[in-house]
């Protein structure tokens, strides 16, 4: 277990320490003793089979959900035990970019990026303009600032949402499926942007994704989750040469392996002959 070595390590921006979590109306634990350390200033990929709880993990880090047990520390502060006002302050230091992270459809691109600055800072409009233009420049959309979201392509929308999510200069940015639904060119652009922004802004990034090949080109560190825990972690090179069957199945996209292709069911013969019900 990572528990004791994790405590307060300044090299880790986020430390997840032995958490247990289930949703309120469910008795099914998504996590049992999950521990993870997110290195500061790096890009960490979190992967695992569908429905394992990756988006949930980001919401736990963001403090929207609380684990039943265990700690989630951000820069040493245990998020689940923070007061509402403390959590509000801490959330300004992190940003989440969800796949559905839609822009406000009735505002220009410019106003979308200015929105968090107008909401959460007391900066003058003049200063806001400078920041918005810098953020738009960073994602290559300065020239598109007068457009409405409906006039943007899918890839441009994603980039505009990215500019909005860095408007307040967060320390941590969490991406949920950032490449989903993108054509190869805009996927390439987004991959490059995530890497460049991480380096130039000194960010720490967490990327939840199914796009193994793409994310391995930019991730410094990778966690693979399965069976309610971390089943593998390391640099992309370490994981690619791992002989752990689950890690291998996942990274090589094999349809069957320790994670079965079939949802549990009686044998087909039994079912067709009426011998059993799926229990
Ligand atoms: N608000 C909720 N209440 C109850 N159950 C939920 C809630 N949100 C998600 N779940 C369940 O928790 C499990 C994990 O969901 P989550 O979206 O975190 O998984 P995921 O690994 O991100 O999935 P995918 O890779 O398919 O996006 C799923 O079984 C889902 O149905």
pTM, full prediction? 0.87
pLDDT tens for the chain, 279 residues long, are 444 444 578 899 999 999 999 998 888 899 999 999 999 999 999 998 888 899 999 999 999 999 999 999 999 999 999 999 999 999 989 999 877 667 999 999 999 999 999 998 899 999 999 999 999 999 999 999 999 999 998 889 989 999 999 999 999 999 998 888 888 888 888 899 999 999 988 999 999 998 888 899 999 999 999 889 999 999 999 998 888 888 888 888 766 666 665 566 777 777 776 654 544
* Nearest residue by C-alpha to atom 23 in ligand 1: 51
Label residues 241-266 b or e (16+ Cβ within 10 Å = b).
ebeeebbbbbbeeeeeeebeeeeeee
Please report the domains of the chain, with CATH numbers, ordered by start residue: 38-62+91-255 (3.40.50.300)
* Nearest residue by C-alpha to atom 26 in ligand 1: 50
> In the numeric block, which tokens belong to residue 52?
């394992």
- Exposure of 225 in the CB half-sphere (CA atoms within 13 A): 25
ipTM, 2 decimals? 0.95
Tokens 């200063």 correspond to 127
Sign for the CA dihedral angle at 147, 148, 153, 157 comes to: positive
265 Cα to the center of ligand 1, angstroms = 22
The pLDDT score that the predictor gives to residue 116 is 92
* Nearest residue by C-alpha to atom 5 in ligand 1: 23
Cβ of 105 less than 6 Å from ligand 1: no
Cβ of 209 less than 6 Å from ligand 1: no
Which atom of ligand 1 lies closest to the CA of 56? Answer: 18
Ligand 1 pocket mutation pick from 24, 32, 51, 207 by most atoms within 8 angstroms of CB: 51
* CA 12 – CA 67 distance, rounded (Å): 20
Q: For residue 239, what is the enclosing H or E element?
A: helix 236-240
Quick check: 70 and 16 in contact, CB under 8 A?
A: yes
238 Cα to the center of ligand 1, angstroms = 28
> In the numeric block, which tokens belong to residue 203?
């960010």
The pLDDT score that the predictor gives to residue 5 is 45
């Amino acid at each position: 277990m990572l528990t004791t070595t994790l405590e307060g390590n300044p090299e880790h921006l986020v430390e997840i320490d032995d958490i247990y979590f289930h949703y309120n109306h469910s008795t099914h634990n998504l996590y049992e003793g999950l521990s993870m350390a997110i290195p500061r200033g790096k890009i960490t990929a979190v992967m695992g089979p569908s429905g394992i709880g990756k988006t949930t993990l980001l919401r736990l880090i963001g403090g929207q959900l609380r684990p039943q047990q265990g700690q989630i520390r951000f820069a040493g502060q245990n998020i689940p035990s923070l007061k509402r006002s403390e959590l509000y302050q801490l959330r300004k230091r992190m940003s989440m970019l969800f796949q559905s992270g839609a822009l406000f459809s009735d505002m220009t691109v410019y106003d979308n990026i200015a929105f968090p600055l107008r909401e959460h800072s007391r900066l003058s409009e003049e200063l806001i303009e400078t920041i918005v233009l810098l953020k738009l420049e960073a994602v290559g959309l300065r020239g598109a600032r007068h457009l409405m979201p409906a006039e943007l392509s899918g890839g441009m929308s994603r980039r505009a949402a990215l500019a909005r999510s860095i408007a307040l200069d967060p320390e941590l940015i969490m991406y949920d499926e950032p490449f989903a639904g993108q054509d190869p060119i805009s996927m390439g652009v987004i991959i490059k942007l995530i890497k460049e922004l991480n380096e130039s802004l000194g960010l720490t990034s967490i990327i939840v994704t199914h796009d193994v090949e793409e994310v391995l080109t930019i991730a410094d560190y990778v966690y693979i989750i399965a069976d309610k825990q971390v089943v593998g972690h390391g640099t992309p090179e370490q994981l690619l040469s791992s002989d752990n069957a689950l890690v291998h199945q996942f990274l090589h996209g094999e349809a069957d392996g320790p994670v079965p292709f079939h949802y549990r069911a009686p044998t087909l013969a039994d079912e067709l002959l009426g011998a059993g019900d799926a229990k």
